[in-house]
Amino acid sequence: MRCFNARFILTVAVVLTVKCVAAQTDIPLVDIKSVDAAIVIELRYGGVNNLAGRALYPPRTPALVHPEVASRLVVAQAFLRRYHYGLKIWDAYRPKSVQLQLWQAAHHNGHVADPEAGAGSLHSWGIAVDATLIDMWNRPVQMPTDFDDFTPAAMWHYRGANPAIRSHVYLLQVAMRDAGFYGLPKEWWHFVIAGWQKYLPPAELERALN
């Protein structure tokens, strides 16, 4: 009997997961790791360190995004590598079922999109990511807050006095901006692909704009 090592089994499991997700949605999605293996993935909704306080994704869930988002993340990663930093992705494509759980966990606090309002969260279309900065050894660096922090400290424009944090936030924002993303006023870690409207189905775009 032929033996299979753990890495092979894990690879097969990830491929099957990607195919399973693709079969459940008409959204074109790719695994971020397949386009740049150096981008670090830590899906916070795969564990308990998040707003809901529990895992919302099954084990080994890959970080999926629209192909154009993936291409732009590669650009941002290359920019950051020149300064001895890199990207860590906290969230990417988020199924609407998970978005509903988050919206309920947030008690409709205005920070989490209602999945039934407009087009819902742009995460659910694979065109938004939550990202932070790491150093060249893949260690976290000082940033304004942790993930899913909805205090004023998480605002896009850092107002604190720590020069290291200010520098890190600015570097992340420049890298993502130059790669073709923009941010949200209340969440320094959230980035949406510029021109996101053209990546939505016409009916969903109409809902989003009404």
Residue 64: exposure state from Cβ atoms within 10 A (0-12, 13-18, ≥19): buried
Which residue in this structure is represented by tokens 């989003």?
208
| Separation between Cα atoms, residue 146 and residue 154, nearest integer Å | 8
| Separation between Cα atoms, residue 35 and residue 14, nearest integer Å | 15
pLDDT in tens, 149-166: 999 999 999 999 999 999
CA 105 to chain centre: 19
Is the domain spanning 6-209 CATH 3.30.360.10? The answer is: no
Q: Is the pLDDT of residue 45 over 90?
A: yes
**138 — alpha (psi -120 to 50), left (phi > 0) or beta?**
left
- All structural domains of the chain with their residue ranges: 6-209
pLDDT at 152: 94
- The backbone torsions φ and ψ at residue 182, rounded to the nearest 5 degrees and listed phi first, read -135, 160
Cβ-contact 93, 65 below 8 angstroms? yes
By percentage, how much of the chain surpasses pLDDT 70?
87
Query: Residue 25: pLDDT band by 50, 70, 90 thresholds?
Result: low
Pick the more confident residue, 111 or 134: 134
pLDDT in tens, 56-84: 999 999 999 999 999 999 999 999 999 99
Residue 94: exposure state from Cβ atoms within 10 A (0-12, 13-18, ≥19): buried
| Rounded average pLDDT over 131-144 | 98
